[in-house]
Amino acid sequence: MEQSLTTQKVSRRNRWSWYFYDFGNSAYAAVVLLAVYSSYFKNAVVGGAEGTRLWGISIGIAAVVVALISPVLGSIADFSKAKKKFLFIFTSIAIVFTALLFFVQKGDIIEGMVFFILAEIGYRGAQVFYDALLVDVSTPETIGSVSGKGWAIGSFGGVVALLIVLIPIQLIGGTDIVRVSFLITAVFYALSSIPTYLWVKQISEPEKLPEGESTINHAFKNLASTFRDVRHYKEFIKFMVAFLIFNDGVMMTLDYAAIIGSTLFGIGQMQLIIFVIIVQITSVAGAYLFGIISDKISCKNSLIISLIAMAITVAMLFLIKTTFLFYVVGASAGFFLSGVQAVSRTFVSQLAPPSKTTEFYGFLTVAGRTSTFIGPLVFGTISFRMYNFYVNRGFESLLAEQQGMLWGVGSIILFLLAGLLVLLTVKRIDPKRKLVTE
């Protein structure tokens, strides 16, 4: 019987159904965040350095909302075992408002911000519950490789989605076709999430509510208890602080990749899509490789390698001058960036006690979403202020915007290295959740 339950936990269908969700939601990340909407909003809807600033504000607002609600939702999901229910709710929000981006045109700044913010809340909120299902489709010995494979398959999904939207943009062109890509992305996301709802199994049975308590009331009590108990999980606290910092650099790189390309190198929409396809392909390899490395030499050492390499890669933006070299830098960044993200997800599952896995993912999401607020706000503010600095000193507008953008790139490197320093204080953990003294 025990052997049967173990087989159920790690069945191929369960795992592949879980992988397919990442395959779909990566289409949102690739099209909306990376290749198409970020550049479309900045250049076509708003325009100029102001577009960069407003893009950062939009990301920040969504981040604050998700940071506030994620721990509570995680607690409710852990208690009621309703991970899939909440995954469905937030995924639906993401899909609907991604589709509504089709209606955003030049000058529709408020609509463009509101629709994106709601889509982003849905996407980020759903990620909490998707990540929490990782323990239901893996074992302690395979969790790193399963997480890495999920990230790799997700990156491949992003490539497929970009190829689908690239064809009409290349053949027809124009902003109307660009807007159609958001409808395509919404449908792609919806279809790919269906296997998760149908076949991923949650192992634990729902707990019985204490007499006289509602689900929400009990969730708040559990969450308060976790806050009190978290002082006993010192390694998790240290990792969360490190993640809070280095994730700033990760999210800034992701959220501004298209804007950096269009501003510094004059890359157009089709070239941006090709650029992100290259990044997504290298992300597949990076996520898969670093998942294996984390199982072999520990999550901590895997993260150290990927963070150092990513900081060096981003620093190359100060030296390169051609579009080809920008593609090379993007390919390298995608490889190491996916390693940082996939291994971070695995590390949390190893640091968290089994009974509070989703709540600990909620804490990670607070850190991550706070990073998503702080990072883009810092990048956008620095770039905009330095743009004004150079304009006031007689620089031509485009050159001033490019110089301001490079100051933003410098802030990415600082966040990555500062987070790395904190990470060095975290103890290593082997695949069976045993601390390794260093």
Model pLDDT for residues 361-393, shown as the tens digit of each residue: 666 666 666 556 788 888 888 998 999 999 999
Contacts 24+ apart (CB under 8 A), 93-97: 93/118, 93/119, 93/121, 93/122, 93/125, 94/25, 94/28, 94/119, 94/120, 94/121, 94/122, 94/123, 94/126, 94/189, 95/122, 95/186, 95/189, 95/190, 96/122, 96/186, 97/122
**Which range is least confidently modeled, 184-193, 217-226, 247-256, 271-280?**
217-226
- Answer whether residue 418 shows pLDDT above 90: yes
d(CA 29, CA 126): 13
Where would I find the beta strands (DSSP E) of 221-329? Answer: none
Centroid of chain to Cα 9: 26
| SS3 at position 177 | helix
Checking if the pLDDT of 413 tops 90, the result is yes
Q: What local confidence, expressed as pLDDT, does residue 372 receive?
A: 66
Higher pLDDT among residues 227 and 13, named by residue: 13
The pLDDT, as a whole number, for residue 2 is: 38
Q: In whole angstroms, give the CA distance from residue 163 to residue 159.
A: 6
Q: In Å, how far from its chain's centre is CA 161?
A: 17
**3-class state of residue 179 by DSSP:** helix
Whole-number pLDDT of residue 102: 95
Mean pLDDT of the chain: 83
Amino acid at 192: S
The 3-state DSSP class for residue 123 equals helix
Query: Can you give the pLDDT at residue 431?
Result: 53
Reduce the DSSP state of residue 436 to 3 states and report it. strand
Q: Is the pLDDT of residue 417 over 90?
A: yes
Does 43 have pLDDT greater than 80? yes
Q: Which residues contact 145 (CB under 8 A, 6 or more apart)?
A: 291, 292, 295
Rounded Cα distance between 300 and 305, Å, is 9
Q: How far apart are CA 421 and CA 233, in angstroms?
A: 19
* H helix and E strand count, the chain: 15, 2
Q: Of residues 162 and 128, which shows the higher confidence score? A: 162
Report pLDDT for 101: 96
**Highest-scoring range by mean pLDDT, 6-15, 173-182, 314-323:** 314-323
d(CA 114, CA 409): 27
Q: What is the pLDDT of residue 194?
A: 94
- pLDDT at residue 301, as a whole number: 84
Confirm if 5 and 14 have CB atoms less than 8 A apart: no
Residue written as token pair 């600033």: 53
pLDDT computed for residue 226 by the predictor: 67
One CATH from 3.40.605.10, 3.40.50.280, 1.20.1250.20, 3.30.465.10 for 11-203+220-427? 1.20.1250.20
More confident residue, 37 or 353: 37
Q: Which band of pLDDT confidence, cut at 50, 70 and 90, is reported for residue 7? A: very low
Specify whether the CB–CB gap between 137 and 195 falls below 8 A: no
pLDDT in tens, 217-250: 776 776 677 677 666 778 888 888 898 899 888 8
Instruction: Output the pLDDT for position 371.
Output: 59
Query: Per-residue pLDDT tens for 88-122?
Result: 999 999 999 999 999 999 999 999 999 999 999 99
